[in-house]
Amino acid sequence: MRHHLRLRRTAIAAVCLATAATAGLTACGSENGKAGAAEKGPFAGMSGGEIAEKAVDTTSGASSLSIKGEVTDEASGLISLDMAMDTKGKCAGTMGMNKEGSIELIVPGRTVYMKYDEKLLRAQSKGEPKADVDAAVDMMADRWVKTRATSADAKEIAAFCDLDVLLADFKGTRSSARKGGTTTVDGTPAIKLTERDGATKYTLYVATKGKPYLLKVDTKKDGKVESLTFGDYEKPVKTTPPTGDVMDLDKL
């Protein structure tokens, strides 16, 4: 059954990309002027780079958050995410790849629960014998399955759910972002920061009300824009295990 769980590597890639998209704003790029003395607001007197660094530091201290949006992996293609996770290793949400179906994940602790739809099972099983693929679809499609978080098939997913690991790359960053205008992200007032890395343009949205968390990252390349939204900071991650017909992969 292991080849039907290959999406675990896609999950890890997605989170790494989400981190890289944000950390990319702190890499290199544009000019970094100081704010004028008459400027008002929570970031008065701070440069765009200083605001970005403050947002990254604040976000890296979060005990829980959610990530929602799309990001492209050169190897796997377009990855969609709608996940919540915390520093205790809990996570829950949905993930998809190349619009070829989706998988639901619930990780309350020592057990990983997964539910594939048929489309994703078939997409992840390309190259396998048709009889094997059909058997896997009949057994697993749209059905919750579970396995130990320490099992060979699930340990990487469990690691992907560790928010401390995700945010580790945020530490000690430096930015040369430039300040843009103000806007709102899901109702929260925000300041826009922009930065370039070669042909890629990043726009970072930082909360101006409450703690200066990262709220959104837009990545524009070759005329295409992909967005990742960050939210639900410090909120409990709901990881109630599914009930009913749950197949135990460890007993197969």
What is the structure's pLDDT at 124? Answer: 78
Between the two ends of the chain, the Cα-to-Cα distance in Å is: 9
What span, in angstroms and rounded, lies between the C-alpha atoms of 63 and 136?
37
Report the length, in residues, of the chain. Answer: 252
Q: Is 170 exposed, middle or buried (0-12, 13-18, 19+ CB in 10 A)?
A: buried
User: pLDDT tens, 86-109?
Assistant: 999 899 999 887 788 888 999 998
What confidence score (pLDDT) does residue 30 get? 35
Are residues 214 and 169 in contact, defined by beta-carbon separation less than 8 angstroms?
no
Look at strands 224-231 and 178-185 and give their pairing.
unpaired
E strands present in the chain:
64-73, 77-86, 91-97, 102-107, 111-116, 144-148, 178-185, 188-197, 200-207, 214-221, 224-231, 246-248
At 162-220, the pLDDT tens digits run 788 777 666 666 778 899 899 999 999 999 999 887 888 889 999 999 999 999 988 88
